[in-house]
Amino acid sequence: MSTIGFIGLGHMGGPMAANLVKAGHTVVGFDLAPAALEQAVKDGASVADSAVDAVRDADVVITMLPSGKHVLGLYDDLLPVAKPGTLFIDCSTIDVADAREAHERAEAAGHRSVDAPVSGGVVGATAGTLAFMVGGSEEDFQAASPLLDVMGRKVVHCGDAGVGQAAKICNNMILGVSMIAISEAFVLGEKLGLSNQALFDVASNASGQCWALTSNCPVPGPVPTSPANNDYQPGFAVALMDKDLGLAANALRTNGVDAELGLKAAELYSQYHAAGAGGQDFSAIINDIRDRSTEGQQ
Ligand code: NAD
């Protein structure tokens, strides 16, 4: 059993830490939010007065934070006080370049590290069914795997440092683009007199089939469990899709990739977020497309 310093006990980190406690690990948590600390204590974790105190005696440090600047800022404080050879696992979704910088800093300080972003949302974090995309050496991946197995159902070693984050943003770029494509098709179908159910029945059994259609269908009816049936309550919020597509757009530009659809999807989700839709499920983009559509020329 490991002693784990867990920093960032928010929507995702809180239940992930709780699952590690349930599995018998010693978890010493820290978060800036007092409510998150109270919940961690209820879940059976100990809490520390600072992030530095949470990691002093840890074998493993897990971070689940909003962005790369939070991760790098904390690493500056934590790396010098952690025991030599501590395994740092960053599960936050951050920029690939920041993830590589975090690895370099950890290695320079004599520690081991993996980037291990997740998909599966709060439901997956609570149920322990997250998917982890891991970047780092084979040895460090093997060391992290038993803990990732506690918090998740699928753990994939994607390659070297930063490549876990690369997998995360590539996957979510597919998701954002495909949700917009599916939504545009439904709005066009509506204009042409094609019912949503008929389009679903055809596309879900034809070459238009994809997760955005068959699991997270943006119109109410065809998939009863999709957020569209529940007033677009997330699910996966527009704010998070905007964040992830922003990271993808940054990587596209930095690496000179001519990806017009990925960049356009980032722009559309950013605008929709700015218009106040951040708390809605990302499938609500169909309403934005409908609102922006005109009468046409007939
Ligand atoms: P959250 O805002 O609920 O949690 C982040 C926590 O970090 C907060 O409780 C905050 O107080 C804490 N924090 C920030 N700076 C800190 C510091 N310096 N020291 C200690 N604590 C600090 O966010 P979340 O939804 O849990 O997401 C966490 C990460 O997981 C993000 O990178 C997000 O993109 C990613 N993610 C989220 C989801 C989701 O569905 N929520 C899904 C996949 C990935």
So what's the pLDDT on residue 235? 87
Does position 2 have pLDDT exceeding 90, yes or no? yes
Atom of ligand 1 nearest to the CA of 30: 20
Catalytic residues: 168
Residue 246 tokens read as 């922003």
Q: Is residue 124 reached through a cis peptide bond, with omega within 30 degrees of 0 on the bond before it?
A: no
Q: Looking at residues 33-51, what average pLDDT do you find?
A: 97
Q: Ligand 1 centre from 111 Cα, in Å?
A: 23
| Phi-psi group of 136: left, alpha or beta (phi > 0 → left; psi -120 to 50 → alpha; rest → beta) | left
Atom of ligand 1 nearest to the CA of 9: 9
**Which residue out of 7, 12, 39, 169 has the highest number of ligand 1 atoms within 8 Å of its CB and is therefore the one to mutate?**
12
- With b meaning 16 or more CB within 10 Å and e meaning fewer, what string describes 270-288? bebbeeebbebbbbbbbbb
Q: Looking at residues 37-55, what average pLDDT do you find?
A: 98
Q: Ligand 1 centre from 179 Cα, in Å?
A: 24
Structural domain spans, the chain: 1-158, 164-294
Residue closest via CA to ligand 1's atom 8 equals: 10
pLDDT level of residue 298 (50, 70, 90 thresholds): low
Residue closest via CA to ligand 1's atom 9 equals: 10
Residue closest via CA to ligand 1's atom 14 equals: 65
Q: Looking at residues 271-292, what average pLDDT do you find?
A: 98
Please list every protein residue whose CB sits less than 6 Å from any atom of ligand 1: 7-13, 30-33, 36, 51, 64-66, 70, 74, 92-93, 118-119, 121-122, 240, 243
CB 96 within 8 A of CB 251: yes
Does position 297 have pLDDT exceeding 80, yes or no? no
Kind of pairing, strands 152-159 and 3-7? unpaired
At the topology level of CATH, where does 1-158 sit?
A: Rossmann fold (3.40.50)
For the purposes of burial, counting CB atoms within 10 Å of the CB of 292, is it exposed (0-12), middle (13-18) or buried (19 or more)?
exposed
Q: Ligand 1 centre from 147 Cα, in Å?
A: 19
Q: State pLDDT tens for residues 101-153.
A: 999 999 999 999 999 999 988 889 999 999 999 999 999 999 999 999 999 99
CATH number of 164-294: 1.10.1040.10
Whole-number mean pLDDT of the chain?
97
Q: Ligand 1 centre from 33 Cα, in Å?
A: 11
Residue closest via CA to ligand 1's atom 13 equals: 8
**Which residue out of 52, 65, 242 has the highest number of ligand 1 atoms within 8 Å of its CB and is therefore the one to mutate?**
65
So what's the pLDDT on residue 206? 98
Q: State pLDDT tens for residues 159-195.
A: 999 999 999 999 999 999 999 999 999 999 999 999 9
So what's the pLDDT on residue 295? 82
Alpha carbons within 13 angstroms on the beta-carbon side of residue 215 total 8
Does position 71 have pLDDT exceeding 70, yes or no? yes
- For residue 114, give the DSSP letter: E
Residue 286 tokens read as 């169909």
**Residue holding tokens 């590539």?**
170
